[in-house]
Structure 1
Amino acid sequence: MSVPDSILAKAEALLRGGFISDAIALCEKTRKKHPDHPGLLLLHGSAQYMAGKLKPAIVTLSRCVKLAPGDVGGWINLGNALQAAGRIDEAVRAFRTAQAIQPQIAAISYNLGNALSALGDMAAAMEAYGRTIALQPTHRMAMSNLGIALTAAGRAAEAEHLFREALALGPETPEILTNLGNALTALRRLDEAVLLHGRAIAMKPDLVEAHYNLGNAELARGQRAKAMTCFRRAVELRPDFIDAHVGMARLFADSGQADQALAIYRAALRQTPDSAVIYYFLGITLRDQRSYEPAREALIKAIALDPTHRQATVTLAALNQETGRHDQAARSLDAMEQKAPSESFLRNAMALSLYRDDISVEQAAAIHARYGSFVENDIGEVELLPALQSEFPLRIGYLSSDFRHHSIASNMLPVIRAHNRELFAPYLYSCTTKADQVTSQFRAEAREWRDVSLLSDQDIARCIRADGIHILVCLASHFDDNRPAVCARRAAPVQISLHDVATSGLKAMDYLIGDYRLLPRGGKEFFTERLLRLPQFYVADMPRDLPPLPISPRTGPPVYGCFNYPAKITPTILGLWGHILARQPTAHLVLKYHNFYADAGLRDRFTAAIRAAGAKPGQIKFIGEQASDQSMLALYNDVDIALDPFPFSGSTTSFQALSMGIPVITLPGETMVSRWSASMLRRVGLSELVATSPEDYVTLAVEAAGSVDHWRMRRAEIRDSVRASSLCDTGKWTRNLERLYRAVWRRHSHG
């Protein structure tokens, strides 16, 4: 017997009137006689969902769609209940089923878009929102949500158009205003963004997202105090708002107040103990403080809470690499690459591969090729470049995150200063997030300075195109916050990789610059770029305030030293050092890099590996204290011989050692990254320190210690050789670079 229409009508009226409890009571009473009536099940399940009784609602609505699989309302309400219960995958399936039954209902596509967005499948979510708008062109929330997704995807210009169209369809809403403000922040129209967020807050003072978004806009304007005020207000309005906690903490951390940042993260975890995001940023801050074990624990917890958290995985791998856990670093990267690759993840994995001594040249090539293929497939077709006249000065764009106190800055600032301004106009595109005095020096030397740190890769490419750049030079693209994917979008007619240590993996990167030592003809290493060779590659000014050398040569047993980044110190090189110390039992080895060796775990792992290869107790010394540049260089006065790491050799570190008159023993291999020190040594007349094999590396180091007095007497001579060499001739080096620029532009102009 069917349920009387009057009862169904009454239940529906109760729901519409907001009498949810009464509707549930009526449905429960009626279901005692009619337990499986689809219409009644739909009303009952909908009422349970509206009352927040998600589990019974899902049971009821699941029964409804089983009995009436063609009832689109049942599938829609089941999808809503599943999404509210956090069962997003099932919600997506429910909405897709509803869409298959009634493809012309805009609300179904909209709900599907929301579920896909919650699932993290933004491409599919954008497609669903686009379908919603096609079915209902006045659907403002679909426009707004699509705009949010476009902004996150780096398509802020398209997002701005959508938000403005949504605003034009009805009265202003604070939510759409602040979303539009976010798009303008991404487009670097910061004053407009601040005004829009302010209008949103004036309309709805408790809109927590608007306060947070205003904080981000103020931060982008450099107004750190105002940004902090905004983040604080957001936290006051919603104490469990994770993003605002992170914003406050990162401001503290960036200003050197790590204790306050850590306190915020820990307080936030007491409120939201299952937040992978907070554990990730906690791990980042602890790592920066060299609190390695707590940092490692926080990152492991972040990954346990969110196994797809790519940046936590990359950071943990880097942490493992620089603290001597090389096997764990490799395993975690290999595992994540199979699960959820992304451009940033693959770029970081590519960079970390350069430190590994357990992969072949062919395996390294495959890692770089995977990065290039992923980026190119992700981008698809690129925008066509406008035709540019072959006019002088040629506009040379330099793209880097390292326009700051950094080794790349020590190489490039003298070059930018030395450019012939009649022939070359330097445009600097800065991804630098921590500006300093060196940043100001770069800015003063630029024909045009563009802060693009908050722009997407696509928007940076558009900015470069708009400036009419002839040649784009991507600096050290493997490292830091550099943005090689900009080049994949063909931002300029000619694109060059400079100061990188391996291929970019990108077909759109036209050239890579090195010298004949870094890039020997007939080498086995894989490059997507055409190779350009300078007479010699490394160049820098002699360090300022170089400490004086000892008046009299030091005495005592020989002392080896390595002041390189610990991630470069692989099991291979630790074993060779152990062999060296075993053959020189009176010698010592000093290891120093910032304050990294304050970590007891790192010291213990390195000590164990070196001793396992033959070193005796007491032969290894660690310096864990932070030191200024000058103080660090002065430590070379207590060192006799520098030992270069392998396979990632020293560059700036080797130059500094040579500047202090210290001989450097190096072992070049089959890759560009292993040959930097060898290239320098040949320029200062010390080719005899370049080993031809691991055994030769040990022999050269042992022999150098055996003739340590000879090397102690030669320190001033080595320093003078460096100063007089082409390594310090910035003007000549820049002229050679400019000749390459002219040659590649002529080649491009002639097709």
Structure 2
Amino acid sequence: MAPLDTTGEPLEILLPRIEGAAPAAAIAAYNAWLAENPSSPQRFAAWFNLGVVLAQSGDRAAAMIAYRQALSLKPDLHQAQVNLGLALEAEGRADEALALWSGALQPNEARLPLLNHQGRLLETRKDYAGAERALRASLLIDPRQPDVVQHWSHLRQKGCMWPLDGGGIPGLTPDALALLGGPLGALALTDDPALQRRIATAWIDRKVPAAPERLAPVQGYRHARIRVGYLSSDFCRHAMGFLIAGLLERHDRSRFDIYGYCSTDEDRSDLRRRIVSAFDHHVPIGHLSDEAAARRIRADEIDVLVDLNGLTRGARLAALRWKPAPVQATYLGYVGPVPIPELDWMICDSVVVPADQADHYAPRPLPLDGLYQANDDSAPPPAPASRTDEGLPDDAFVLACFNNFYKITPDVFAAWMRILHGLPKALLWMTDDNATGIANLRAAAQAAGIAPDRILFASRCDPQRYLARLGCADVFLDTFPYNAGTVASDALRMGLPIVTLAGRSFASRMAASLLTAAGLTEGVATTLDDYVAAALRYGRDPAALSAARAALSGGAWLRSGGNAEAFTRRMEAALSAIRL
């Protein structure tokens, strides 16, 4: 999360800025002014301005001294408190930064940046309860802060702070709270694709203005091989990277020329090296502006540009708005509407976007002939894990859900508690996501009459151990309205049956699509009562569970939905069809 409000400009209203001066000259000028004016009431501004210039020149230590001098003369100078705190944070002294910001006494309008920075920094430390309190305090002063509303709302989702609206924010209607909650949070808030589209549109209107011109020719190109560009910030050890690697490697090079437009941070992983090697042309664009990135894509005459971020972190939507390719599609990274007019298609399938919901989406849905999700079938299965090694009792019925906490809603958690009441020997096994969420989930279980020790939390681990863990469970319980995606296909790969609830939106039908591809649709429910009943059936009927496991045994998933070769041919057929 980027800083919500950063003060980094000199205080021109208090002391005339030294215009056009190089940093060294400006530093010398401010020092000279301070030496010549030992009694001026404007000295605090000069010290602050000196701190800004020193920081901009890279001398953080001297800048901190200057900010402290400014504060010694004017203790309520909130700009100096903000900037000094940011410098302390950059030095790795986060506790000192938090103490400085929380101890500042300011009028309400000056407290906003201090509270917002507290919230931002506490969120990076996964202190979601503290971050939520800071941002809520900021919104109680001024609710007209869309970015703060978005982060506050998502913090409550991540920390399982229910009710999710926190009892409301004075000055914001429930509809306004929903619209400002952000596109990622929207997928876990509602299964209404029309509302998801409204939320995404509101975010795009604030964040991604239209570009001044269209770069690609309307009529397209006529290349002998179709030039396909994949655009992403996640060509690394990221869920998208694990899914997409097999597709990139298997493209038919006699028909397709594959470009990778990459703004990924280097993680030096084997997966990243594999993905980069799979491109015919690897084009780093992380250092380029959005316009420059768009012009590079245009110069390469890409026929079809496939955006793999959508509305997730690292997206280059502003580059897409230049329309650098004649055909542009969004795929995989964000499973909801991405309503910018420069996108032509959203790659999906007929299960995740049924025909009666297609009109709610933008861009236009492009259903593949079969499962929408790419998978990599080249990795060998991990060595089996043991329940003993994972701290699980051998005689328990283990219900697993390794989804992120923000996907868990009060209704789904209540359904899980009903399942645990109906299966006295069952345990719920989850990921150790964050301390705030764990505390709140345990409290909610206690309130529902379930002993908190019936919920176990698995620590984060490497991908192979995570896959092996899935084999230790009996049933995977999905979340709603934001289903498991990569995690669901991993569960099926490891022979773990899934119980899911399918709604109206793409995000709420991902597991249903995966189960349909696996031929195991008895795990797909359409009401919460049916969802509970399906889980109870697996827990009470060993024959039903054995049949489901048998359907997934012997690598069945890799021969069906997880078949990367078959998926690549389906994707290529779709890309060929939409090329101009």
TM range (shorter): 0.7 to 0.9
- Work out whether residues 375 and 488 of structure 1, in 8 Å CA contact, stay in contact via their aligned partners in 2: no
Equivalent of 1:541, from 376, 391, 408?
Answer: 376
Q: Which amino acid aligns with 2:300?
A: D
Q: Which amino acid aligns with 1:382?
A: E
- Work out whether residues 115 and 138 of structure 2, in 8 Å CA contact, stay in contact via their aligned partners in 1: yes
Q: CA deviation at 1:670?
A: 1.2
- Work out whether residues 665 and 697 of structure 1, in 8 Å CA contact, stay in contact via their aligned partners in 2: yes
Equivalent of 1:382, from 210, 213, 217?
Answer: 213
Q: Which amino acid aligns with 1:726?
A: S
Take 1:444 and 1:721, find their aligned partners in 2: how far apart are those partners?
A: 27
Q: CA deviation at 1:329?
A: 4.5
Distance 1:390 1:730, change over 3 A: same
Q: Are 2:452 and 1:643 equivalent residues in the alignment?
A: no
- 1:741 is matched with 575
- Work out whether residues 430 and 453 of structure 1, in 8 Å CA contact, stay in contact via their aligned partners in 2: yes
Q: Are 2:520 and 1:681 equivalent residues in the alignment?
A: no
Equivalent of 1:355, from 147, 168, 188?
Answer: 188
Q: Which moved more, 1:323-332 or 1:461-470?
A: 323-332
Q: Are 2:5 and 1:174 equivalent residues in the alignment?
A: no
Q: CA deviation at 1:494?
A: 0.6
Q: State the secondary structure of the residue aligned to 1:658.
A: helix
* Structure 1 or 2: more helix by fraction: 1
Q: State the secondary structure of the residue aligned to 2:149.
A: helix
Q: Which moved more, 1:733-742 or 1:442-451?
A: 442-451
- Work out whether residues 426 and 454 of structure 2, in 8 Å CA contact, stay in contact via their aligned partners in 1: no
Equivalent of 1:584, from 423, 430, 438?
Answer: 423
Q: For CA contacts below 8 A with separation 6 or more, give which structure has more relative contact order.
A: 2
- 1:531 is matched with 365
Q: Please identify the structure whose Cα radius of gyration is greater.
A: 1
Q: State the secondary structure of the residue aligned to 2:469.
A: helix
- 1:249 is matched with 89
Equivalent of 1:423, from 245, 252, 255?
Answer: 255
Equivalent of 1:335, from 172, 180, 204?
Answer: 172
Take 1:241 and 1:434, find their aligned partners in 2: how far apart are those partners?
A: 34
Take 1:514 and 1:333, find their aligned partners in 2: how far apart are those partners?
A: 39
- Work out whether residues 525 and 534 of structure 2, in 8 Å CA contact, stay in contact via their aligned partners in 1: yes
* Deviations 1:399-449 (CA, angstroms, capped at 9, x unpaired): 222222211111112222222334333333334356442444433433444
Q: How does 1:159-308 map to 2 (within 5 A)?
A: 173-174=21-22, 212-213=55-56, 230-232=59-61, 234-236=63-65, 238-239=67-68, 240=80, 242-243=82-83, 246=86, 249=89, 252=92, 260-267=93-100, 276-277=112-113, 279-303=115-139, 308=144
- 2:445 is matched with 607
- 1:572 is matched with 411
Take 1:525 and 1:466, find their aligned partners in 2: how far apart are those partners?
A: 34
Distance 1:364 1:237, change over 3 A: same
Identity %: 22
Take 1:373 and 1:267, find their aligned partners in 2: how far apart are those partners?
A: 35
Q: Which amino acid aligns with 1:235?
A: M
Q: Are 2:147 and 1:311 equivalent residues in the alignment?
A: yes
Q: CA deviation at 1:379?
A: 2.3
Take 2:330 and 2:490, find their aligned partners in 1: how far apart are those partners?
A: 24
Q: Which moved more, 1:578-587 or 1:432-441?
A: 432-441
- 1:324 is matched with 160
Distance 1:594 1:601, change over 3 A: closer
- 1:406 is matched with 238
- 1:562 is matched with 401
- 1:4 is matched with none
Take 2:266 and 2:240, find their aligned partners in 1: how far apart are those partners?
A: 15
- Work out whether residues 515 and 524 of structure 2, in 8 Å CA contact, stay in contact via their aligned partners in 1: yes
Take 2:277 and 2:87, find their aligned partners in 1: how far apart are those partners?
A: 30
Q: CA deviation at 1:336?
A: 9.3
Take 2:502 and 2:186, find their aligned partners in 1: how far apart are those partners?
A: 17
- 1:718 is matched with 552
Q: Can you give the 5+ residue segments of structure 1 that lack an aligned partner in the other structure?
A: 1-81, 87-110, 115-139, 145-172, 179-205, 216-229, 253-259
- 1:54 is matched with none
- Work out whether residues 650 and 677 of structure 1, in 8 Å CA contact, stay in contact via their aligned partners in 2: yes
Q: CA deviation at 1:648?
A: 0.8
- 2:541 is matched with 707
Distance 1:329 1:439, change over 3 A: farther
Q: CA deviation at 1:554?
A: 8.6
- Work out whether residues 52 and 63 of structure 2, in 8 Å CA contact, stay in contact via their aligned partners in 1: yes
Q: CA deviation at 1:327?
A: 4.0
Take 1:393 and 1:405, find their aligned partners in 2: how far apart are those partners?
A: 30
Q: CA deviation at 1:353?
A: 1.2
* Deviations 1:528-587 (CA, angstroms, capped at 9, x unpaired): 222222222223225656231669999524221211111111122122222222322332
- 1:627 is matched with 461
Q: Which amino acid aligns with 1:335?
A: L
- Work out whether residues 193 and 361 of structure 2, in 8 Å CA contact, stay in contact via their aligned partners in 1: no
Distance 1:334 1:302, change over 3 A: closer
- Work out whether residues 309 and 315 of structure 2, in 8 Å CA contact, stay in contact via their aligned partners in 1: yes
Q: CA deviation at 1:652?
A: 1.1
Take 2:285 and 2:157, find their aligned partners in 1: how far apart are those partners?
A: 30
Q: State the secondary structure of the residue aligned to 1:540.
A: coil
- Work out whether residues 263 and 286 of structure 2, in 8 Å CA contact, stay in contact via their aligned partners in 1: yes
Q: State the secondary structure of the residue aligned to 1:321.
A: helix
Distance 1:276 1:556, change over 3 A: same
- 1:596 is matched with 434
- 1:181 is matched with none
TM-score, normalising length from structure 2?
0.77
Take 1:282 and 1:544, find their aligned partners in 2: how far apart are those partners?
A: 45
Q: Which moved more, 1:535-544 or 1:489-498?
A: 535-544
Q: Which amino acid aligns with 2:86?
A: V
Q: Which amino acid aligns with 2:373?
A: Y
How many pairs were matched up?
525
Distance 1:443 1:608, change over 3 A: same
- Work out whether residues 339 and 362 of structure 2, in 8 Å CA contact, stay in contact via their aligned partners in 1: yes
Distance 1:508 1:83, change over 3 A: same
Q: Can you give the 5+ residue segments of structure 2 that lack an aligned partner in the other structure?
A: 1-10, 27-48, 69-79
Equivalent of 1:472, from 298, 305, 326?
Answer: 305
- Work out whether residues 294 and 319 of structure 2, in 8 Å CA contact, stay in contact via their aligned partners in 1: yes
Q: Which amino acid aligns with 1:363?
A: L
Q: Which amino acid aligns with 1:495?
A: Q
Take 2:408 and 2:471, find their aligned partners in 1: how far apart are those partners?
A: 22
Take 1:618 and 1:339, find their aligned partners in 2: how far apart are those partners?
A: 35
- 1:20 is matched with none
TM-score, normalising length from structure 1?
0.61
Q: Which amino acid aligns with 1:514?
A: C
- Work out whether residues 140 and 169 of structure 2, in 8 Å CA contact, stay in contact via their aligned partners in 1: no
CA RMSD of aligned residues (A): 4.1
Q: Which amino acid aligns with 2:538?
A: A
Q: CA deviation at 1:295?
A: 2.4
* Deviations 1:452-492 (CA, angstroms, capped at 9, x unpaired): 44655444333332333222211131222323343233232
Q: CA deviation at 1:706?
A: 0.6
- 1:18 is matched with none
Take 1:455 and 1:314, find their aligned partners in 2: how far apart are those partners?
A: 27
Q: Are 2:526 and 1:692 equivalent residues in the alignment?
A: yes
Q: Are 2:357 and 1:507 equivalent residues in the alignment?
A: no
Q: CA deviation at 1:321?
A: 0.9
Take 2:324 and 2:25, find their aligned partners in 1: how far apart are those partners?
A: 31
